[in-house]
Structure 1
């Protein structure tokens, strides 16, 4: 595990911290579609994402979901940090968008490292900053963009984080992420195809423009 930690976090953390993470962290592999964090659960450890993509979702009172942001290699979730440090229940759901590898860090070590390692403090603060900016983008998208613009942004975000122009999600799965209906998504995808932005296939969507 130390080799993968060095590859993805060596530019962020000093060697002493990398070795501590290797010693106390729990390595975990999850398959696409697996739920990592559930709404309402207490979180005892914080995930460092080594490889893969995780999507973080919020749920309304009717059980409908809204995509907040994606986590990529080298990321962690600010919501998880808050829950771990405050010992509160999670208010988000985290699902593996692709097969992923993570290192789970015990909450007590997170607190120790804030005082012990400057690189860890900087990482935690930068994580809060990055996730806040992504949340603001989500709010702006809902408030100011039309649904077809939101859909196109969502598709571009997915191709960016997965590094793949082919999107395998169903129209219904996309609708869940955008908190809208499958009928609306299907209609707008057809509109975007007619505009030359993408190609629709039976089992996937291919993005044409970036």
Structure 2
């Protein structure tokens, strides 16, 4: 499918015609395999990725192997955080990595920044997306501060299940621990407890929500 058809299919009910034309003119359609980094920390942001198929994961990392999962990006979304960094000419402080195969449109930062003064539909889209993603981040902070790990782990699994539309989650305990910034042993212990309570079923590198 050509970029014109994809843009029309995904964004015609969101953006005005002239903005759609700019996305087609300046955007580059890209395909990324699973676990491919689209945007890296401490790098200049050259383009803004708009997801048109698949799921990407947004993480905050400190550059020494430590990080925490923030939220997912799904079809017709981009990262409001990356747009904000680009507006302020700052390097990225997040990593965007694919979950499975992902198709996205990469639009140069200079072009995206110009949309704020030209298109009301873009401003509305950005502010709504920013509000939604900010709310998710505030909720994450509340969970870390006020809820125990079992609650956070179950919420993480349920969120992943909803986004992927599948009650089978293919993920290692180690990867879950990295996303939640806790020890693998703690994750394994709580998952076994949940299995005994028949909340889920554990398999080899997969978790089935009952």
Query: SS where residue 29 of structure 2 aligns?
Result: strand
- 1:7 deviates by 2.0
- 1:136 deviates by 0.6
**8 A contact 1:35–1:93 mirrored in 2:** yes
Aligned to 1:146: 148
Aligned to 1:97: 99
Query: SS where residue 75 of structure 1 aligns?
Result: coil
Aligned to 2:166: 164
Query: SS where residue 100 of structure 2 aligns?
Result: coil
How many residues matched? Answer: 208
- 1:15 deviates by 2.3
Query: SS where residue 36 of structure 1 aligns?
Result: strand
Query: SS where residue 12 of structure 1 aligns?
Result: coil
- 1:10 deviates by 1.7
- Tell me which stretches of 4 or more aligned residues in structure 1 moved more than 4 Å: none
With 58-67 and 168-177 compared, the bigger mean Cα shift is at 58-67
Query: SS where residue 133 of structure 2 aligns?
Result: helix
Residue pairs, 1:39-188, within 5 angstroms: 39-60=41-62, 62-188=64-190
- 1:81-124 CA deviation, whole Å, 9 max, x = no partner? 01211111111111111211110111121122212211011111
Query: SS where residue 187 of structure 1 aligns?
Result: helix
Structure 2: state its 5+ residue gaps.
Answer: none
**8 A contact 1:42–1:83 mirrored in 2:** no
| Counterparts of 2:10 and 2:144, CA distance in 1 | 33
Please tell me the root mean square deviation across aligned C-alpha atoms, in Å. 1.3
Distance 1:106 1:188, change over 3 A: same
With 109-118 and 65-74 compared, the bigger mean Cα shift is at 109-118
| Counterparts of 1:204 and 1:25, CA distance in 2 | 36
**8 A contact 1:37–1:95 mirrored in 2:** yes
- 1:79 deviates by 1.6
